Amino acid sequence: MTAFHLDMDAAADLLCRIVGLLAQRDLQIASIGSTETVNHGLRLRIDVDGLDAGSARIIAAKMLRCVGVDRVWLETDGMLLVEEALCQAPRATPPVIAAASC
């Protein structure tokens, strides 16, 4: 299971663009949830099954480039990567920032 975590503006068109990035690859969302942040934005979590780590990093980097997305975290195989790691060229072993505990 791969989980995408995003801090983003609370805009319907932005949510459609984010989900569209997954739909372009014909990926099915296992679950999706959101909470409102203090500054009236959204903290979004999208769980996707059957996605390899390399593809997940590419999709997360595309999510980060969407206007209105402030931060992206990618949780895969118990590892949590932050946006700085996602913007770097893929490596054989991705950097471990922190253990996943959501």
The answer to whether residue 89 scores a pLDDT higher than 80 is no
Residue with tokens 């895969």: 76
pTM of the model: 0.77
Beta bridge partners of 98: 80
Distance CA 94, CA 2 (A): 14
The answer to whether residue 99 scores a pLDDT higher than 80 is no
Average pLDDT over residues 83-99: 45
pLDDT, one tens digit per residue, over 40-88 is 899 999 999 989 888 998 999 999 999 999 899 998 877 777 655 455 4
Class of domain 2-99: alpha beta
Distance CA 91, CA 73 (A): 17
How many CB atoms neighbour CB 47 within 10 A? Answer: 15
Distance CA 51, CA 70 (A): 23
pLDDT at 16: 94
Distance CA 17, CA 19 (A): 6
